[in-house]
Amino acid sequence: MHTTKNQIQQIQREGVEIGKYAGLICSRLALLLCLLFLILPMRPTSIYLFALTALFPWIFTNILEGKKPESQKIYLSFCAKKYSFSPSRYLAEKCSGTILIICLIAWQVSASRSSSLEEIWKMAPAFCLLAYCLCRLVSTLIFRRKIRKDFFDLKLLDH
């Protein structure tokens, strides 16, 4: 099997995107866990963010998959299947991650100005943002390394 330079670049890009997608999923789950603990002391904002975190990627993925058929060939289909990756799911997770970061920053700004919250709760949105970003970074690096180890070290790209 002869692999062209463009195919090798596409395969490597897919490996990176699948790793990022898996990292986004892990960080979203970590944020859901943080928000779950904040539902009682910091409602209603934490409830709204919990619902947004849980539902937005699913809704946005359904909208994207209904709009356009995915015609792009995925070379790492076995890896994509393992992580439930598709370009529309990746785009939905990426967009929801950006929206979540913006919402967490806005929540932190409003919580720090609130006089009704105790000092410890004023830092909770910042902690959630920090946990989300750290989990996203670390899990993305771990998954990218795992994908590289599992699929690329097998010399799948040899000519």
Q: How many domains does the chain have?
A: 1
- In a domain, residue 157? The reply is no
Residue 45 lies in a domain: yes
pLDDT tens sequence across 112-150: 887 777 777 888 899 999 999 999 999 999 999 988 887
Q: Rounded to an integer, what distance in angstroms lies between the CA atom of residue 90 and that of residue 96? A: 10
| pTM to 2 decimal places | 0.83
Q: Is residue 78 part of a domain?
A: yes
CA 136 to CA 128: how far, in whole Å? Answer: 12
Residue range(s) defining the domain that contains residue 108: 5-152
* Residues in CB range of 1: below 8 A, 6 or more apart: none
Q: Is residue 158 part of a domain?
A: no
pLDDT tens for each residue of 64-83: 877 766 567 787 888 888 88
For residue 70, the SS3 value is coil
Other Cβ atoms closer than 10 A to 46? 21
